[in-house]
């Protein structure tokens, strides 16, 4: 990946991650155009960081903080992974479609169908990768097992998309424009109205695939990263203390202030927190492996010959635990490895730190992800003590996203009387 990344540009993993409809787009003559639209959509949002900076505190103050307060007051056990999924889906829905799903209004309601559909589809896709092709095709033909869930997942995704498209078209028919309502600056509105950026409006299926991909990239991966971060923090209380001190210094100069007062500039000052997030991503990358196919025949460093029919799996999870890459302390949670002697962030090469992909395929939403995670973490750590349920099993789920199979059960206790 360091020297020959360019000839491994065709990524099967993105086709897997964005489900079969996307795979069809990639396999068609318009595959390159699909990539263009997807990354243009993400880049369009990156250019709108001011709007994102407005959305984050709004849903923290109106959604996350009230929910955390209620959980703390009642003294109940909550699944943090589910909570993070609801919050990040709320955020993802706002930047992707402009719709408020109210996912955080009550943590006891039935699970949100769309994120669950994505999770079920991801598990089915993982099964397709690791079991014989004839077996999963037989399951698909019989309509059983994970293939049945996969088919049901797409029905939910299509239903969600039809609803969002209907809402958006109704708004646009009322002559609403981005300039008239800045809250409508989202990917779907961009596809429908910003022809200066995207060209001709894409087909409904292509827009659906791109929006689904954006929701997946924002919600599933971020909630996974947050869950493993807090699990690691529970095992390393010294790091939690250091993060809390840094947050108090730069975000909450007055101790008992529950309202999130951060901005992008202040979040960028949280060096130790940034390092701790990087360390968590090193040990538990949300997408634990990447699949690549060479564009032409090549020879791997091991001497193996590969060609266009070869799928190469690169395990970021394994790389994060290799002493040859990270040193003898590679299994330790050590944020200090990301901090320079001058006190700044040490930037590792993307082929070494694989959490955001490498080379020309580097994730364009990287900064959005960091901003969202920092905002959530600072809010929770400043206001609450997170006490994990010790008897609750924490194991990875077999899927293309490194989520926890049984969630992350915890009690949340307020730090303020």
What does the alpha-carbon distance between residue 242 and residue 220 come to, in Å, rounded to a whole number?
28
Residues 279, 239 contacting (CB under 8 angstroms): no
**Residue 278, annotated as binding a ligand:** no
CA angle 159, 162, 168 (to 5 degrees): 140
What does the alpha-carbon distance between residue 89 and residue 84 come to, in Å, rounded to a whole number?
8
What does the alpha-carbon distance between residue 25 and residue 3 come to, in Å, rounded to a whole number?
29
Residues 77, 409 contacting (CB under 8 angstroms): yes
Rounded to the nearest 5 percent, the helix, strand and coil shares of the chain are 60, 10, 35
Residues near 238 by Cβ (< 8 Å), separated by ≥ 6? none
Partnered with residue 299 across adjacent β-strands are: 305
For helices 204-215 and 31-46, what crossing angle results, to 10°?
Answer: 50
The first and second tokens of residue 29, run together, are 């003559």
Residues 188, 97 contacting (CB under 8 angstroms): yes
The first and second tokens of residue 326, run together, are 């990270």
Characterize 229-262 residue by residue with b for buried, 16 or more Cβ atoms within 10 angstroms of its Cβ, and e for exposed.
Answer: bbbbbbebeebbebbbebbbebbbeeeeebebeb
What does the alpha-carbon distance between residue 357 and residue 313 come to, in Å, rounded to a whole number?
13
Residues 386, 114 contacting (CB under 8 angstroms): no
Sheet arrangement for strand 77-79: 77-79, 409-414, 384-388
**Residue carrying structure tokens 């002493």:** 323
Task: Say how many C-beta atoms besides its own lie within 10 A of residue 324's C-beta.
Answer: 8
Structure letter (DSSP) for residue 290: E
Residues flagged as binding site? 363
Residues flagged as binding site for heme? 363
């Amino acid at each position: 990946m360091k020297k020959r990344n360019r000839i491994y540009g065709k990524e099967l993993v993105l086709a897997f991650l964005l489900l079969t409809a996307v795979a069809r787009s990639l396999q068609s003559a318009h595959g390159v155009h699909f990539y263009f639209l997807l990354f243009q959509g993400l880049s369009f949002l990156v250019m709108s960081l001011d709007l994102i900076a407005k959305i984050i505190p709004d849903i923290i103050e109106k959604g996350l903080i009230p929910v955390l307060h209620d959980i703390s007051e009642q003294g109940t056990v909550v699944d943090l992974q589910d909570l993070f999924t609801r919050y990040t889906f709320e955020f993802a829905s706002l930047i992707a479609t402009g719709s408020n799903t109210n996912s955080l209004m009550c943590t006891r309601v039935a699970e949100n169908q769309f994120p669950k559909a994505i999770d079920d589809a991801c598990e089915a896709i993982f099964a397709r990768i690791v079991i014989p092709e004839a077996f999963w095709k037989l399951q698909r033909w019989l309509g059983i097992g994970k293939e049945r869930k996969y088919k049901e997942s797409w029905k939910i995704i299509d239903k969600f998309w039809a609803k969002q498209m209907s809402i958006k078209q109704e708004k646009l028919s009322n002559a609403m424009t981005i300039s008239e309502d800045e809250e409508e600056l989202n990917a779907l509105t961009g596809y429908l109205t910003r022809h200066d950026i995207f060209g001709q409006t894409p087909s409904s299926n292509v827009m659906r695939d791109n929006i689904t991909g954006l929701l997946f990239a924002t919600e599933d991966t971020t909630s996974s990263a947050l869950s493993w971060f807090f699990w690691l923090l529970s095992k390393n209380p010294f790091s939690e203390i250091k993060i809390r001190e840094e947050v108090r210094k730069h975000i909450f100069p007055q101790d008992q202030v529950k309202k999130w007062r951060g901005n992008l500039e202040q979040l960028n000052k949280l060096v130790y927190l940034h390092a701790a997030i990087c360390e968590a991503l090193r040990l538990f990358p949300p997408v634990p492996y990447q699949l690549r196919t060479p564009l032409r025949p090549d020879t791997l460093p091991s001497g193996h010959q590969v060609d266009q029919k070869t799928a190469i799996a690169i395990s970021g999870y394994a790389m994060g635990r290799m002493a040859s890459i990270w040193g003898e302390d590679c299994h330790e949670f050590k944020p200090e490895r990301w901090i320079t002697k001058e006190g700044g962030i040490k930037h590792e090469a993307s082929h070494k730190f694989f959490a955001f992909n490498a080379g020309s395929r580097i994730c364009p939403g990287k900064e959005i992800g960091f901003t969202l995670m920092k905002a959530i973490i600072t809010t929770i750590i400043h206001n609450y003590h997170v006490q994990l349920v010790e008897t609750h099993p924490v194991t990875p789920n077999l899927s293309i996203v490194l989520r926890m199979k049984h969630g992350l059960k915890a009690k949340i206790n307020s730090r303020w009387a």
